[in-house]
Amino acid sequence: MWVAVRKSTVIKGSLCACFVVLCCVLCRGLVRERSLRAFSASGIAPPPVAVLDPGHGGEDGGAVSPVGIAESGLNLSIAFRVRDLLRLTGCRVVMTRTEDVSIGDPSLPTVRARKSSDLRRRVEIVNGTENAVLLSVHQNSLPSSPVTRGAQVFWNRRDGGETLSKLIQASLNAGINAGNEKQAYPIPEGVYLMKHAEAPGALVECGFLSNAWETAQLTNEGYQKELAAAIAAGYLRYLSGEGIP
């Protein structure tokens, strides 16, 4: 966190399989065409790269559910699923971390300093990636309202961030959030990575670890696949040039 139904397994599996097949058919061509267009127009523009950022890691577990489930592991698991789907469609992807670790300087003396170092490193990865599009994956928590649930997206203030985030939100609302639709919002200024990333960015709060029902969903493989499919679909819609829904 930074601080925000389910069908049969068979149906979920089929939906995910259909999504993958559709993406393979539609988006390989889409991404390739877009990339070629960009190259041919300017001779220099590289194809977009999704920078997948599983929030937290290592000594920083992020939000923790009442039964002790930390968001850092869920973030990584969901980000891996998004990565795999995007790679299947021919998209270029890099990740800020691929293990349950902090990527900051471990020699720094305090947790706070190491956390700051971790965030600066994530910014370096995003800003060091040409034509990056940032997808940051987190989990929410609101202990004062344990019934609050649902996936919500926040955008940064770079060109394209709002469109990207609203497209991902629309994809989440069509599936995960059906009956509990949410709006995407601009991210508060204090969120370091989103503020300093010089790329369009969406921070996805996949669900609330303060909600026992949703926590159970978030640890479920099928539910994680649905989340990943929605995030990937929103990203692909953004790459296709689709506007704000």
Q: How far is the CB of 202 from Zn ion (least distance, A)?
A: 14
Task: Give the C-alpha separation, 135 to 80, whole Å.
Answer: 12
For residue 116, how far is the Cα from the chain centroid?
21
Q: How far is the CB of 121 from Zn ion (least distance, A)?
A: 16
Task: Give the C-alpha separation, 25 to 31, whole Å.
Answer: 11
Q: How far is the CB of 73 from Zn ion (least distance, A)?
A: 12
Is residue 85 at the binding interface for Zn ion, with CB under 5 A as the rule? Answer: no
Partners of residue 138 on adjacent β-strands: 205
Stretch touching Zn ion by CB under 5 A, among 41-49, 50-58, 155-163, 192-200:
50-58
Stretch touching Zn ion by CB under 5 A, among 39-47, 133-141, 164-172, 174-182:
133-141
Strand ranges across the sheet with 49-54: 92-95, 49-54, 132-140, 201-208, 152-155, 185-186
Shorter beta-carbon distance to Zn ion: residue 208 or 223: 208
Return the sign of the alpha-carbon dihedral for residues 115, 117, 123, 124: negative
Stretch touching Zn ion by CB under 5 A, among 110-118, 121-129, 131-139, 183-191:
131-139
Is residue 138 at the binding interface for Zn ion, with CB under 5 A as the rule? Answer: yes
Q: How far is the CB of 136 from Zn ion (least distance, A)?
A: 8
Contact residue for Zn ion among 4, 27, 54, 55 (CB under 5 A): 55
Task: Give the C-alpha separation, 17 to 11, whole Å.
Answer: 10
Q: Which residues bind Zn ion (CB under 5 A)?
A: 1, 55, 62, 138
